[in-house]
């Protein structure tokens, strides 16, 4: 016989009354965005409730951290924090959408981001062989996944190892665009150093300094220290002056894989696809424009050589078990090269329907339905994040106050000399709530 499961949710004082009156509800019940939570659970982040199998858990799923205001820095120290204790009976297990080990959460989010990026599209152009700056004769809009497939084949045919050191010898870093207000010889390390210092100062000043004049003085000091002047449109807008996207986008670089544009199998493939062109048929001698990949500064995303190596190995793992003709046929059928969408018209579900992931040497986070197949035992394992639907009031045992907004309340501060831990103290209080519960949620101050 399955027993009830104790689960935990971190929150702060402004949300407490609503939870104690109505239970735990998703913040946006009608949300349908296909974010990482959707890929993990089949429901969007706004239409889900997040719980933990332990009151103190790992990064990304720790109720105590959420109760203390994480991840929104400006909320830390403003409101008392609480741990909501849920007693979920077996008949309510269908309210749980997914159970994921916190230790694997970063890996899954990395997989989600990689998938998202590889479904994005890029435009390739073909021009006259001897005309490097003339009008394009034809254009194709293809997914990064498709082009990474051909890049992996190019590397195999040219005996280029899919290791960062080997790939790096064939990759050239180029300027993608630098705002005229910035130095023309700006380098990625110098720009990243400025961004780190600038936003560290801005975030600290906005949170801890009340004087607008002092906040502006500190911001200007960082600009002078790094020798930068921001464009007038940034300086004129208070939002832009504090926006990572607005300022970070003032300069960007791209990676170009040398030799790939001359790869004849890619040329032959492109000739089988519909194209945007005034030509019914392309001349035999055409020059394919470079396939450039954005080079993020430090997050290891699309353009970093290390990430490129990982993505190419992922492509190989996805495609090697299957005939090359089948893979090319999929791209010929599903790549909408006449149009210019931001994402490919095919979905990952369609890809895996044609090329079952079970035949591929891929880690579990790549498998569709990862963490959606679980049992009661998974809800008892420590350090698991639980993604669920609304939790009705009858399943809420109550709330434990853990902080005054800045520090843990005195009776929860563990005495290390006595071997006490915060987790053990919270478990004791959770079992006390269960023992005292009589139908109405309790508040332990």
Per residue in 257-291, pLDDT (tens digit) is 888 988 999 988 988 887 776 565 666 777 788 88
Helices 144-157 & 324-334, crossing angle to 10 degrees? 150
What pLDDT is attached to residue 339?
A: 61
Query: CA 56, 59, 60, 66 torsion: positive or negative?
Result: positive
What pLDDT is attached to residue 434?
A: 94
What pLDDT is attached to residue 77?
A: 56
Cβ neighbour number for residue 55 with a 10 Å cutoff: 26
What pLDDT is attached to residue 31?
A: 79
Per-10-residue mean pLDDT, the chain, length 445: 78 93 91 83 91 88 86 62 94 92 88 90 77 70 94 96 91 88 89 89 76 87 92 91 89 86 90 71 74 65 73 96 96 76 89 96 90 88 92 96 90 90 94 93 92
Residues in the chain: 445
What pLDDT is attached to residue 134?
A: 60
Strand partners, 391: 24
In which element (H, E) is residue 83 found? strand 81-88
Beginning with the edge strand found earlier in the chain, give each strand of the sheet holding 251-257 in spatial order: 171-178, 251-257, 292-295
What pLDDT is attached to residue 3?
A: 63
What pLDDT is attached to residue 72?
A: 56
What pLDDT is attached to residue 202?
A: 83
What pLDDT is attached to residue 158?
A: 95
pTM of the model: 0.81
What pLDDT is attached to residue 1?
A: 35
DSSP character at residue 444 = E
What pLDDT is attached to residue 39?
A: 86
Report whether 444 contacts 398 (CB < 8 A): yes
3-state secondary structure of 123: strand
What pLDDT is attached to residue 132?
A: 53
DSSP character at residue 289 = P
């Amino acid at each position: 016989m399955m027993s009830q499961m104790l689960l935990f949710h971190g929150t702060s004082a402004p949300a407490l009354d609503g939870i104690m009156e109505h239970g735990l509800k998703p913040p946006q019940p009608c949300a349908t965005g296909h974010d990482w939570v959707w890929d993990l659970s089949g429901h969007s982040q706004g239409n889900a409730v997040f719980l933990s199998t332990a009151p103190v858990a790992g990064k990304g799923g720790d109720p105590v951290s959420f109760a203390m205001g994480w991840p929104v820095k400006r909320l830390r120290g403003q409101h008392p924090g609480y741990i909501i204790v849920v007693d979920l009976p077996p008949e309510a297990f269908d309210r749980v959408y997914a159970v994921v080990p916190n230790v694997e959460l970063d890996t899954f989010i990395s997989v989600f981001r990689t998938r998202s990026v590889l479904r994005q599209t890029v435009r390739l152009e073909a021009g006259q062989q001897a005309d490097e700056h003339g009008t394009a004769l034809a254009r194709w809009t293809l997914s990064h996944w498709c082009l990474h497939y051909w890049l992996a084949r190019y590397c195999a045919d040219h005996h280029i190892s899919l290791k960062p050191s080997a790939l790096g010898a064939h990759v050239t870093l180029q300027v993608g665009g630098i705002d005229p207000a910035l130095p023309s010889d700006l380098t990625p390390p110098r720009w990243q150093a400025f961004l780190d210092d600038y936003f560290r100062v801005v975030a600290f000043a906005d949170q801890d300094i009340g004087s607008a004049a002092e906040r502006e003085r500190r911001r200007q000091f960082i600009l002078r220290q790094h020798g930068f002047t921001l464009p007038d449109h940034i300086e004129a807008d208070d939002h832009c002056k504090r926006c990572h996207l607005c300022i970070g986008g003032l300069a960007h670089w791209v990676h170009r894989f040398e030799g790939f544009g001359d790869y004849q199998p890619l040329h032959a493939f492109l000739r089988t696809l519909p194209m945007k062109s005034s030509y019914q048929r392309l001349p035999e001698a055409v020059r394919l424009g470079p396939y450039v990949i954005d080079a993020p500064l430090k997050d290891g995303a699309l353009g970093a050589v290390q990430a490129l190596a990982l993505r190419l190995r992922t492509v190989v793992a996805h495609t090697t078990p299957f005939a090359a003709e089948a893979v090319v046929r999929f791209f010929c059928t599903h790549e909408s090269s006449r149009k210019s969408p931001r994402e490919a018209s095919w979905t990952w579900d369609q890809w895996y329907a044609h090329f079952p992931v079970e035949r591929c040497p891929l880690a579990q986070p790549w498998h569709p339905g990862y963490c959606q197949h679980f049992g009661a035992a998974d809800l008892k394992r420590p350090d698991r994040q639980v993604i669920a639907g609304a939790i009705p009031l009858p399943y809420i045992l109550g709330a434990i106050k853990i902080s005054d907004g800045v520090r843990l309340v005195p009776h929860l501060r563990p005495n290390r000399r006595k071997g006490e831990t915060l987790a053990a103290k919270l478990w004791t209080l959770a079992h006390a709530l269960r023992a005292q519960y009589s139908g109405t949620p309790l508040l332990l101050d």
